[in-house]
Structure 1
Amino acid sequence: MAWVVRGEFRKLWLGQLVSASGSAITTVALPLVAVVTLQASPVQMGALAALTIAPHLVFGLLAGVWVDRWSLRRVLIWTDVGRLVLLGSVPVAAALDSLRIEQLYVVAVLTGVLTLLSDTASQTLIPSLVPREDLMRANSAALLNLNLASTVGPSMAGFLVQVLSAPFAIIVDAASYVVSAVASYLIREPARAPVPERSEVRLSAGLRVIFGDRVLTPLAISAAVAATAGAMQGPLIVLYLIRGLHRSATFVGVTLTAFGVAAVLGTFVASAWCRRVGIGRAYVSGVFLASLSGAALFTGLTPLILLGQAFAGLGMSLFGVPQRTLRQYLAPPHLIGQVTATWRTLVIGGQAFGAAASGLLATAIGIRPTLLVATAGMLLGVLIALLSPLRSFHTLPADPSSRRSMARD
């Protein structure tokens, strides 16, 4: 994979790696600021978590419109600068003894909007920076950034919070956006694809592309269903291990590490796996592997729990790379930003619903049955893909002009 990280893509990749690592630190540090420094109540913590997700649901479709109209390079630069200022305000306010929970709310919302724009722009830019034959490898490299950050970041965050305190640990994330902004500034952005006559950038364009294509439609439905079910399972893992199985915090750490390491390793094999079994079947196999973690937890057996978490991490990479690649390749070039933002809205919306339903369902029927319901939901996502043309989609068309998806005027 390393050889694909070259040219202009290398600059994007390095900037995103640094900023993703910083963001992983803030993911842990910001709630700790609320809990430890501000003594936030459970209601305030819930509001902070909700406000972190809200921008993706409220502004998701708009973000795609904006990104498809603006220079992608400038979007990356200014979103980095904005997040630098916003996150830098937290340690400054803490130093002046003026930090309040309301400031964290504002920071959570605005950084969420800027992150939405940045992520959409970076995924939109990738197809124009690498040759078509390298697109899957480039997506593997991009996904590697996220997996490395989410695996190493929380441990680094814990160390920094211990040494610097939670508000000042956020300085590391703020500084990461300086590096990312410089890397983005150095990118030579290719000319954008010309917009076809009578075509316009509209709020509904991403939805029309996704649900007007025989491959993207089942892919989106499958991903949304699986994401909803996976989000039902996520909040219950630690709770079930500690309270249901009476395992130690160390064991919880080991299971989460098994997931992270497997996810990182999965990015190195995802492209080869797509070539070997076909891009559609690679996606299906990834979702299937990810669905096994809930059933493994249900058994309560240590080896199966660890294996299930490893399968989940591996599966995340195996389905993540093909679905990103299909989305980028099958969307009309001038609408990739809107398709990406629409996709994120659908999937993150499903995750928000699944996380909210998780606690209610676990209270009503118990944690173990809820884990089985979540597993069944993920398997339903597998079935949707299996019963669609996606399963026979083996390789990307050799000629980009033979795209299956074209936006309707």
Structure 2
Amino acid sequence: MRAQWRVLVDVPDFRRLFGGSTVSILGSSVTTVALPLTAVLVLGASPVQMGLLGAASFLPHLVLGLPAGVWVDRLSYRSVIVGADLLAAAALGSVPILAVTDLLQMWQLYLVVVITGGCSMFSMIASQSFAPILVPRRQLLAANSAFALSNSVVATSGNALGGVLVQLLTAPIAIAVDAVSFLISAVANARISVSGRTPAAERHQESLLRGIRGGLRAVVEHPALRATTIAATVGALAGQMQGVIVVLFLVRDLGLSAGWVGVIIAVAGVAGIIGAGVGVQLTAQLGNGPAFILGMTLSSLAGLVMAAAGGPAVLMMAILIMSQLLRGWGPTLYGINQQTIRQVLIPPELLARTQATWRFLVHGMQPIGALLGGTLGALIGFRPTLIVSSVIMLIGTTLALLSPLRTLRRLPGTEPEHSRP
């Protein structure tokens, strides 16, 4: 925790970026609960409509994921983030207004989800590319860990807050909280003293297609980057296969009540908080590459452990808790390291498009994984699907283990100050 706190204290501009991100994620966690409830309770959405609503959030990544990085490169990171915050606030703010005036329809919710999904994509690409400009290399891992810690804490508490606000204010009005959070985020990010304009934005603007090729080439040419991208892409596919059936497995196969399902899911959130808190220290002991591989391994084992759940109630709950601890620790550990590896190894002028390429591949696998998970769950059962998806994730982990990541102990320029000559 000390390293994360120090980077927040030492770098005021990063503190503003971090604060804006934290507030907006808190608001978005409320919307995660409130928007589907708006569709169900206010508009009477059918299962098909709910499926379309969930898929709509992935649409920007699939359609705009690759060119987004080139466009972000041509602007200042600060302006992209502030612009995305303001557009998201406007889109979300329309929901309670339309609901109060009885004008809200499902197509409008689809549009809001697409707009906010696109804003999130552009904002994340810019933020992750901005951090290396604001933070010294030796503190990048701590900065990424601070983001992960914030995400885990805020997401865990934000969902609960969303349920309370829906109960007190109704679902559409609760979404107004998210709109306000984006306005606060825009103010915080606008106060960052540097624009984050990259060398790519200052030189002659290359064609869109050539820019996309540059991002793809940067990802695949470096062995360590290629390994992290492949492993993360396979992990996203397998993780989403599990994500769509976990609740069904807990309820239908294991017979858990809704209350116990909530407790089990919350364990992963708490584990993510702990993992983010110790991720910097653990990486210092293992090295960036081995820490990434360890995180992938823990994530891969989570599904296998959950598939073993059964027997007496006490034993079953112990197995489920262990599974969720792995599910919380693993993604946090490999997430902060894969982000740091990209930020250090990619030249600044290629970073935004590389981040966009990574998000296109990883997020593009999630709807495919959801479809595979649901289909396999119906055909072979939930427990076998957990095993199959875990094996797929282990294949990605094995590829990372066989790559140069295994010996990537330290990234250039990230040594602590006291270790330098």
TM-score with structure 1 length normalisation? 0.95
Conserved? CA contact 2:245–2:373, under 8 Å: yes
Letter of the aligned partner of 1:19 in structure 2? S
In the alignment, which residue of structure 2 is the partner of 1:270? 279
**Distance in 2 between residues matched to 1:50 and 1:62, nearest whole Å:** 20
Distance verdict in 2 for CA 1:197–1:175, change over 3 Å: closer
In the alignment, which residue of structure 2 is the partner of 1:281? 290
Conserved? CA contact 2:18–2:147, under 8 Å: yes
Letter of the aligned partner of 2:292 in structure 1? Y
Distance verdict in 2 for CA 1:99–1:193, change over 3 Å: closer
Conserved? CA contact 1:72–1:189, under 8 Å: no
**For residues 232-381 of structure 1, what are the structure 2 equivalents within 5 Å?**
232-300=241-309, 301-381=316-396
Conserved? CA contact 2:300–2:390, under 8 Å: yes
Conserved? CA contact 1:139–1:324, under 8 Å: yes
2:6 maps to 1:3: yes
In the alignment, which residue of structure 1 is the partner of 2:119? 114
Conserved? CA contact 1:259–1:309, under 8 Å: yes
Conserved? CA contact 1:67–1:337, under 8 Å: yes
Conserved? CA contact 1:298–1:372, under 8 Å: yes
RMSD: 1.6
In the alignment, which residue of structure 1 is the partner of 2:312? none
Q: Deviations over 1:27-64 (max 9, x none)?
A: 11111100010001111111111111111111111111
Conserved? CA contact 2:76–2:198, under 8 Å: no
Give the Å deviation of 1:197.
Answer: 7.9
Q: SS in structure 1 opposite 2:218? A: helix
2:94 maps to 1:89: yes
**Distance in 2 between residues matched to 1:56 and 1:157, nearest whole Å:** 26
Give the Å deviation of 1:398.
Answer: 3.0
Letter of the aligned partner of 1:369 in structure 2? P
Q: Deviations over 1:134-166 (max 9, x none)?
A: 000000111222212221111111100000010
**Distance in 2 between residues matched to 1:248 and 1:34, nearest whole Å:** 24
Q: SS in structure 2 opposite 1:218? A: helix
2:65 maps to 1:50: no
2:186 maps to 1:181: yes
**Distance in 2 between residues matched to 1:130 and 1:13, nearest whole Å:** 12
Give the Å deviation of 1:190.
Answer: 5.3
Conserved? CA contact 1:129–1:190, under 8 Å: no
Conserved? CA contact 2:268–2:327, under 8 Å: yes
In the alignment, which residue of structure 1 is the partner of 2:27? 22
**Distance in 2 between residues matched to 1:293 and 1:311, nearest whole Å:** 5
Correspondence for 2:129 among 106, 124, 129: 124
Distance verdict in 2 for CA 1:19–1:198, change over 3 Å: closer
Correspondence for 2:144 among 121, 139, 150: 139
Q: Deviations over 1:229-264 (max 9, x none)?
A: 111011111100100000111211111111000101
Letter of the aligned partner of 1:63 in structure 2? A
Name stretches of at least 5 consecutive residues in structure 2 with no aligned partner: 310-315, 416-421
Correspondence for 2:413 among 390, 395, 398: 398
2:394 maps to 1:385: no
Correspondence for 2:46 among 26, 41, 48: 41
Conserved? CA contact 2:36–2:50, under 8 Å: yes
**Distance in 2 between residues matched to 1:233 and 1:369, nearest whole Å:** 11
Distance verdict in 2 for CA 1:100–1:199, change over 3 Å: closer
Conserved? CA contact 1:192–1:334, under 8 Å: no
Give the Å deviation of 1:124.
Answer: 0.7
Give the Å deviation of 1:112.
Answer: 1.1
**Distance in 2 between residues matched to 1:217 and 1:52, nearest whole Å:** 26
In the alignment, which residue of structure 1 is the partner of 2:228? 219
Name stretches of at least 5 consecutive residues in structure 1 with no aligned partner: 401-409
Conserved? CA contact 2:73–2:198, under 8 Å: no
Q: Deviations over 1:309-340 (max 9, x none)?
A: 01110111110110000011111111111111
Conserved? CA contact 1:226–1:381, under 8 Å: yes
Deviates more, 1:296-305 or 1:12-21: 296-305
Conserved? CA contact 1:256–1:309, under 8 Å: yes
